[in-house]
Amino acid sequence: MEDKFIKIKFGLAVKELRLSKNISQEKFAEIVGLHRTYISEVERGTRNVSLINIVKIAEGLEIKTSELFHKIEKKI
């Protein structure tokens, strides 16, 4: 599978989960300790996210990392 496709699917999953919790990008960035533009790049699929930040994002969404990956797998 193409790298860009994986990043886009990950970003869409993060955005969908964030919006389901009614949290702005700015507030979410504050919660997870990352910059707002970083979160924006993740959600647009332009950022290759490190494992450490994937865990931070999952924790910020109050889900297990495995649940986040499961959501991505359903989108692929």
pLDDT tens-digit readout, 5-33:
999 999 999 999 999 999 999 999 999 99
Would you state the pLDDT for residue 17? Answer: 97
How many Å apart are CA 30 and CA 71, to the nearest integer?
A: 23
Say what the alpha-carbon torsion angle 25, 21, 34, 75 is, to the nearest 10 degrees. Answer: -90
Q: pLDDT band for position 73 (50/70/90)?
A: confident
- Whether the pLDDT of residue 75 is over 80: the answer is no
Residues 54, 68: contact at Cβ < 8 Å? Answer: yes
The dotted CATH code for 3-75 is 1.10.260.40
Would you state the pLDDT for residue 74? Answer: 79
The model's pLDDT over 42-67, given as tens digits with 9 standing for 90+, comes to 999 999 999 999 999 999 999 999 99
